[in-house]
Amino acid sequence: MGNGDHRQQRGPVSEHALRAADRVNKRRHFILLLMAILVAGFALRVAYFTWAPKDYAAADSDYDDIAQNLAAGKGFSLDKPVPGRNSGEPSREVRTVPVASRTPAYPFFLAAVYKLFGRRLKLVYLIQTVIDMLSALLLYFLTLRIAGSERVALVATLIYALYMPFMSQTAVLLNETLFGFLLLGFTLVSVRALEHPSFANFLASGALLGAVTLCRPTTFLFPVVLLAAVLIRYRGVIGQLVVPSVAFVAGFVALVAPWVVRNYVVLDYVGLVGSLAGEQVYAANYIWHRPNTPEPMVPDDLRAKLAGKSDIERNKILMREGFRQILLHPVNFAKNVLYRTSTFWTAIGMGGPAFFYFSSGRAGKEMCVFVVVVNIALIIASVIAFVMFRGPWTKASFVPLLLLGYFYIIHLPIIALVRYSMPVIPFLMMFAAVAIVNLFGKARTAAS
């Protein structure tokens, strides 16, 4: 009798222990799969920057030059030639001048590497590869928090690890990889902040958005957009969001204010964006210029206005001219917007859309077809996810959806470079992963 009672008591305990052990084994299985994906992605990127064609291994000389000056103790500056006495006379002298043509995060990152290890580009690419894999890990945790499924998170991470354009970003001296990492970090913290709207969470969210903006100023308007959207969506509890919203603004301002003050004191320039913003607006809207190609054509009269001007003055002139073109040629502006609607989703490499790389011979047909097909598949799968598999995850996707819309809208009228769309592609990967996992689940159920 006693033994029977003992067995009856052990049964439920053993079943509970088996379920717990099964959960542990599943978690271990997912962790091993995640590690395998990250290792594979790392290996592919190392192979890429080791054997990449020279066409892909381009660098932005400004970032490199500013970083070298920072490492040498010359401040945030560029070495520029001193004009010769006679017109057309080659310059033999250079002078170091402070600049605001680039935002500071990436040059300081490069300068830290140069200061510690010397100017070793392969090492920079290796560090950027590590950062890119950390971005993949952030995407995993973001997807896990939003979708609540380790399978969905693994699929999103796998797509990221195998996505060829992200591999190419690690092998250039551009801020793409660092910016994408910071943006994913901001998104993850912001999703948590909306779930748990505390002072600390909103402060961290604002500070991270400040860091994102200091890496690339594309997001300089997003604080206003995000706060407005949050206050509208949660207007029923708006009183509870006043203090967190103040914390968000304080975190953002604390990060960007030193850069704004520096620009004003050193250059008499008031602005958060870099002093190349005017060039972007002009290049995006110049009526005779093919949209989204790197260098705009400059008419002789405008070239004369720009001659001898500082970066700050050039920025103001080109900004005014870009918006003037919009007002003077609204039909052309509308055509450019439609054109960039298609190119926004086909960015490849560092310069332009897939068809631009293919037509110029800078990328093979296979690469271009890969990017177009994969991106279209991601868009279709994302739509399927929101149409067929709506659930709590759709509401939790508020911040990623807002970022997708913001990047798309701000790109259409004023951003000339299509690669600026790439940081939001991971959000499509997350939404597509929801559809992929659910569709496979339906297929398995139907088959059984």
Q: How many domains does the chain have?
A: 1
Please tell me the least confidently modeled range out of 43-52, 136-145, 158-167, 396-405. 43-52
For the residues 305-321, what does the mean pLDDT come to? Answer: 83
Phi-psi label, residue 148: left if phi above 0, alpha if psi -120 to 50, beta otherwise: left
pLDDT at res. 95: 86
The amino acid at 444: R
Helix (H, G, I), strand (E, B) or coil at 369: helix
Cα–Cα dist 80/85, whole Å: 16
353: confidence class by pLDDT, cuts 50, 70, 90? low
Cα–Cα dist 124/120, whole Å: 7
24: confidence class by pLDDT, cuts 50, 70, 90? confident
The token duo for 418 is 């299509």
- C-alpha distances (whole Å) from 288 to each of 315, 327, 354, 412 are 20, 15, 22, 17
Residue in 377, 427, 435 with CA at minimum distance from that of residue 397: 427
pLDDT of 438 higher than 80? yes
Please tell me the least confidently modeled range out of 113-122, 206-215, 406-415. 406-415
For the residues 63-80, what does the mean pLDDT come to? Answer: 93
Cα–Cα dist 69/67, whole Å: 5
Q: What share of the chain has pLDDT > 90, as a percent?
A: 50
282, 325 contact by CB (below 8 A): yes
Q: How many CB atoms lie within 10 A of CB 254?
A: 13
For the residues 58-70, what does the mean pLDDT come to? Answer: 83
Range of the domain at 72: 2-84+91-447
Cα maximum dimension of the chain: 112
Phi-psi label, residue 118: left if phi above 0, alpha if psi -120 to 50, beta otherwise: left
292: confidence class by pLDDT, cuts 50, 70, 90? very low
pLDDT digits (tens, 9 = 90+) for 141-176: 999 999 999 999 999 999 999 998 898 889 889 999
> How does DSSP classify residue 295?
S
pLDDT at res. 274: 67
pLDDT of 10 higher than 90? no
Per the model's pLDDT, the better-predicted residue between 156 and 5 turns out to be 156
Q: How many CB atoms lie within 10 A of CB 262?
A: 16
pLDDT digits (tens, 9 = 90+) for 171-194: 889 999 999 999 999 999 999 999
294: confidence class by pLDDT, cuts 50, 70, 90? very low
pLDDT at res. 55: 45
Cα–Cα dist 430/436, whole Å: 10
- C-alpha distances (whole Å) from 239 to each of 37, 193, 231, 243 are 44, 16, 10, 8
Global pTM?
Answer: 0.87
pLDDT digits (tens, 9 = 90+) for 324-335: 888 888 888 888
Helix (H, G, I), strand (E, B) or coil at 339: helix
395: confidence class by pLDDT, cuts 50, 70, 90? very high
pLDDT digits (tens, 9 = 90+) for 235-272: 888 888 889 999 999 999 999 999 999 999 998 887 76
> How does DSSP classify residue 426?
H
Q: Residues, the chain, total?
A: 448
Please, which contacts does 194-197 make with residues 24 or more away whose CB atoms are closer than 8 Å? 194/230, 194/398, 194/399, 195/396, 197/240, 197/241, 197/244
